[in-house]
Amino acid sequence: METSVGVVTISAEDTEKLGRAVSEALRPGDVVALAGDLGAGKTVFVQGAAAGLGVLQPVVSPTFTLVREYAGRLPVVHMDVYRLDRVQDVLDVGFEEYLDGRAVVFIEWGDVIQGLLPESWLGVRLTLDMQDEARRAVTVTRTGPAWSGRWELLERLLAPWESV
Ligand code: ADP
Ligand code: MG
């Protein structure tokens, strides 16, 4: 079994739909760390995933607020650690309490604080395409035991997209 799966999205709506599809595999306590350049589609992905988790409010980028919380079928926490230059800032916003196992936690630029992530997390890396501004390569990677039992489900959920 591979530890990562790569697909292509062809529009923002398509990436939103991909987030929605992935959300079907998410459970309380999950951490999803998003990576990719500015404008790659991290927030768009989270918007789709949050909608899939039953969040009805609009999900807006937490770039300047650091963290936003939403009530869906599950509590949803959305963080953006981009502007943080110190690990301490992440801890000061109560980072560890958000990982108490109740919520699904999305962290944009989560790869930057990998050392603070729990044992298991799902990585989503979005890569811009130099030739096509509406195209993204999206690589989903699992880390830790929490994802082994759900990986086939995740692969099934991503099957409708062209793979890379
Ligand atoms: P990030 O959070 O990674 O900085 P955003 O999700 O805020 O990026 O923005 C992504 C931008 O790219 C949006 O303006 C969106 O409309 C555009 N876009 C174009 N194609 C795609 C795609 N395939 N997936 C995601 N966003 C796309
Ligand atoms: Mg963003």
Query: Residue 62: CB within 6 Å of ligand 1?
Result: no
E-strand spans in the chain? Answer: 4-9, 31-35, 67-71, 75-80, 104-108, 121-128, 136-143
What confidence score (pLDDT) does residue 64 get? 74
Distance 101 CA to ligand 2 centre (A): 24
Q: pLDDT tens digits for 2-21?
A: 899 999 999 999 999 999 99
Half-sphere exposure of 155 (CA within 13 A, CB side): 13
CA 143 to chain centre: 13
Which CATH number does the domain housing residue 25 bear?
3.40.50.300
Q: pLDDT tens digits for 131-140?
A: 999 999 999 9
Mean pLDDT value across the chain: 94
Helix (H, G, I), strand (E, B) or coil at 16: helix
Dump the DSSP string for 68-95: EEEESSSEEEEEE-TT---HHHHHHTTH
What confidence score (pLDDT) does residue 65 get? 78
Going by C-alpha positions, the residue among 124, 99, 103, 131 that lies closest to residue 16 is: 124
Query: Residue 41: CB within 6 Å of ligand 1?
Result: yes
Full domain range(s) for residue 98: 2-161
**Beta-carbon count within 10 A of 74 CB:** 20
The total number of structural domains that make up the chain:
1
Query: Residue 101: CB within 6 Å of ligand 1?
Result: no
Q: pLDDT tens digits for 96-141?
A: 999 999 999 999 999 888 889 999 999 999 999 999 999 999 999 9
Closest ligand to residue 7's CA: 1
